[in-house]
Amino acid sequence: MIIDSMAQPNLRMLSNCSSCGTRIAATEHVRIEMLHCPPDATVLWRMPEATLGLMWVRDRSGSMRVLSNGHPLHNLSVGQADLWFFPEGLDVEGELVSRSATNCIALYVVSSFVPAQVKIELTQPIVGFSNCALGRSFSAFAGQFAEPDGLQPMYIDGWAIQMLAHVRRAARMGGARRRSCASGLAPWQLRRAKQMLLADISDSLPLSELAAACRLSVSQFARAFRASAGVPPHQWLIAARLDNARELLAQSETPLVTIATMCGFADQSHFSRVFARVNGITPGAWRREHRLELCTCQSGSGAAGPPRSKSMSAETEQRCI
């Protein structure tokens, strides 16, 4: 175990107050930071992307501002809220303005240390909630920071998992008042979903597989993906297939029927209908237009020579088509 007031904290006071340093207790899997701050203090805090994080504030009369990946997630008067939970995959930072003397405790748990079933159920932030059992546990733990010898590594690890179990139970029972304004996917979830969709662009993954990889139900995943990407997963995949098709049309002589198969369309007719609806032109016409543009650009970049005739030679025209 490490008790170190000099280590770089994620929880710090916006002042040079030497008596307001952050106390840190850490094991291989868990890091706990506590800060005691005076009235009217401003506390800056951060939840790293690779951990599950839980923050507790004793004082409920202040205000909280939360940013996720640089975007506002929630601003509120603390009121009845004294807890904030964030799953892995979110790089979250915030600012607490206290109104009276208070304690803040931030709990960070390495993702690989958390039981899989707990992580599956805790994939969304719970921004501002209250839970009596958690509040009592944090309050009791605050007193133990004054007795460093009492904080043994096994106790710290066990206490951290117990706190996440309380969060899981509160989320299940609706005891946590959810304020997840960012209803979309976490960054890691969006990356994983897009990677899976693009892994074999000619195939159509079941929505259930994508949802399972993101640790969400199918309905949760569908709503969150649309909120993050602006379109449902199927439409996003169609757009990716059309991007791939345009690249093949412009840079190869691959037959249209083959491109249709490579890009995941049912057949050439299906490919042509979708392509024309989006681009306003058939794939064959789009290819002729862009291949002619390519040939014109290549010819224009050559060395000076005799004037070109108004019509292409049959061989050049055939290459461009």
What would the pLDDT profile of 93-126 be if each residue is shown by its tens digit? 888 877 777 788 999 999 889 888 787 778 778 8
The residue ranking higher by pLDDT, 88 or 178, is: 88
Give the pLDDT confidence score for residue 187 in this predicted structure. 79
Flag whether pLDDT at 63 surpasses 50: yes
Structure confidence by residue, pLDDT tens digits, 25-45 = 889 999 999 888 787 778 888
From CA 102, how far away is CA 39, in angstroms rounded?
A: 7
From CA 81, how far away is CA 96, in angstroms rounded?
A: 12
Residue 16 tokens read as: 């040079």
Give the pLDDT confidence score for residue 212 in this predicted structure. 87
* CA contacts within 13 A on the Cβ side of 298: 9
Give the angle 88-89-91 at the CA atoms, nearest 5°: 100
Residue 190 tokens read as: 């969006």
Determine the length of the chain: 321
190 — pLDDT class (breaks 50, 70, 90) = confident
Q: Please choose, from the candidates 223, 131, 118, 240, the residue with its C-alpha nearest in 3D space to the C-alpha of residue 175.
A: 131
142 — pLDDT class (breaks 50, 70, 90) = confident
Q: Which helix (H) or strand (E) holds 314?
A: helix 314-320
Question: 235-301+311-320 in CATH: which number?
Answer: 1.10.10.60
Contacts of 127 (CB under 8 A, 6+ apart): 66, 73, 74, 84, 178, 179, 180, 181
Task: Centre a 10 Å sphere on the Cβ of residue 106 and count the other Cβ atoms it contains.
Answer: 24
Give the pLDDT confidence score for residue 321 in this predicted structure. 34
Q: Which of 128-142, 179-193, 201-215, 297-311 has the lowest mean pLDDT?
A: 297-311
Q: Please choose, from the candidates 109, 111, 159, the residue with its C-alpha nearest in 3D space to the C-alpha of residue 133.
A: 159
296 — pLDDT class (breaks 50, 70, 90) = low
- pLDDT, averaged across the chain: 76
Flag whether pLDDT at 319 surpasses 70: no
CATH of 2-173, one of 1.20.1050.40, 2.60.120.10, 1.20.1050.10, 3.40.605.10: 2.60.120.10
